[in-house]
Structure 1
Amino acid sequence: MTTRLAGRWQRLRALGDAGMTTAEYAVGTLAAVAFAGLLIAVIKSGAVKSALSGIITSALSVAG
């Protein structure tokens, strides 16, 4: 029994970290949400809105 457990433990240690833990997923999700919030704030700014509006108007006038 002890030998079997020791062998299993050695195999697990040899594998290393095979994936992210729950805490790493939480930090990654939090970072993604913060980045999305930053992008939304930038897109809603007046300068970006006017630039996008100008690009769309220019594209529609060329196409039409």
Structure 2
Amino acid sequence: MTVETTPLAAPESAVPETAAPEVPEPAASGTPDLDPEAGLATAEYAIATIAAAGFAGLLILVLQSDTVRGMLESIISSALTV
């Protein structure tokens, strides 16, 4: 028994492997459409960095107070005498 096979034609919408990547068309105003969320991650990192710097500054002020310094010295001295 012999089975005949016929090759299938490639669909017309097939893209050859050497096709150039598609470039987005400019908007009607002549400027390309920009992603409205572009750069948001960078802004979030900047806000988090500023918040961390503010928290570090507040922590330094608290640790420099005489009350906290006395508490830390007593904790350290009791730990060293054990």
The structure 2 residue matched to 1:25, chosen from 34, 45, 50, is: 45
Structure 1 residue runs without a partner (length 5+): 6-16
Identity percentage of aligned residues: 52
Residues in 2 aligned to 1:51 and 1:24: alpha-carbon distance in whole angstroms: 36
Amino acid at match of 1:60: L
Gaps of at least 5 residues in structure 2 are 1-21, 25-36
The residue number in structure 1 matching 2:18 is: none
Deviant stretches of 4+, over 6 Å = none
Of Structure 1 and Structure 2, the greater helix share is in 1
TM-score, length basis structure 1: 0.61
Q: For residues 38 and 21 of structure 1, what CA distance do their matches in structure 2 show?
A: 26
Residues 31-46 of structure 1 correspond to what in structure 2 (within 5 A)?
Answer: 31-46=51-66
